[in-house]
Amino acid sequence: MYADSKRNRTLLKDGRSVVSPFQAARMILNGEEITNVLKSDDVDKYETMYGVYVSSDIGEVDIAPPCHEHSNDDFDFVTSRVINSSRWDDGNIDRVEKELSFFVESKNVLFLVQLIHLIDKFKKEGIVWGVGRGSASASYILYLLEVHDVNPIKYDIPFSEMSKQQESKYDN
């Protein structure tokens, strides 16, 4: 389960949103269909009174964000995908090493693992995803993993555009 602080909700691993009792009350007032409400005394009363079961039994699941610590297997998985990319160019090994260092230091290796799985799913299901925009287009690693199609080496985009650091130690 994941906490989505931007939308003030909790997401189950299957993507369903679990709403708070307060959010459920607002949905009821707006005439919206409600499901997957976090258990509370008020939700129990509603279900008993109206015979409509809207709660989601999430058991003893911790709703804190998942750990950002990666294993050696996670890092090896990412580096293997980078090196085996059809876009790989041996001449850019320094850039790859510097960017991988950034992702390790910023504890974003698991983010890369999830991106790889997401892109694989998109390919398998024939889903089209973005060509690239914003600061992520400055990452050669994300280009190699096919998250976007902008080659920052070709367009001379420094990695500091993504890492938000002035003349970053991660730039060439």
Q: Is residue 55 part of a domain?
A: no
Same domain, 76 and 136: yes
- pLDDT of residue 19 exceeding 80, the answer is no
Give the pair of three-digit tokens for residue 121. Answer: 């799913």
Instruction: Identify whether residues 97 and 22 lie together within a single domain.
Output: no
Q: What is the pLDDT of residue 61?
A: 45
In the chain, % of residues over pLDDT 70: 78
Phi first, then psi: give them for residue 46, nearest 5 degrees. Answer: -60, -45
Q: How many domains does the chain have?
A: 2
My answer on whether 158 and 108 are in the same domain is: yes
Residue 94 and residue 43 share a domain: no
DSSP 8-state secondary structure symbol assigned to residue 134: S
Residue 168 resides in a domain = no
Pair (38, 78) in one structural domain = no
Contacts of 129 (CB under 8 A, 6+ apart): 119, 122, 147
Whether 171 and 159 have beta carbons less than 8 Å apart is answered as yes
Residue 172 within a domain: no
137 φ/ψ angles, rounded to the nearest 5 degrees? -70, -10
DSSP state of 86: T
Task: Please indicate, yes or no, if residue 139 is contained in any of the structural domains.
Answer: yes
Please tell me the distance from the alpha carbon of residue 34 to that of residue 108, in angstroms, as a whole number: 34
Domain that holds residue 31: 2-50
Quick check: is 59 in a domain? no
Using the Cα atoms of residue 38, residue 42, residue 44 and residue 46 in order, give the sign of their dihedral: negative
The answer to whether residues 76 and 44 belong to one domain is no
Q: Please name the residues in contact with 52: beta carbons below 8 A apart, sequence gap of 6 or more.
A: 46
**Residue 159 counted as domain residue:** yes
The answer on 86 and 8 residing in a single domain is no
For the segment 154-166, the average pLDDT, to the nearest whole number, is: 81
Same domain, 78 and 147: yes
- Statement to judge: residues 83 and 143 lie in one domain: yes
Query: How far apart are the two ends of the chain, measured CA to CA in Å?
Result: 39
Residues 42 and 11 in one domain: yes
- Both tokens assigned to 6: 């931007």
Q: Do 44 and 87 belong to one domain? A: no
**22 with 98, same domain?**
no
Q: Who has greater pLDDT, 132 or 143?
A: 143
Kindly state whether residue 64 falls inside one of the protein's structural domains.
Answer: no
The C-alpha atoms of residue 111 and residue 152 are separated, in whole angstroms, by 20
Tell me the residue length of the chain.
Answer: 172
CA-CA-CA-CA torsion sign (36, 40, 42, 46): positive
Per-residue pLDDT reduced to its tens digit, 68-98:
788 999 999 999 999 999 999 999 999 999 9
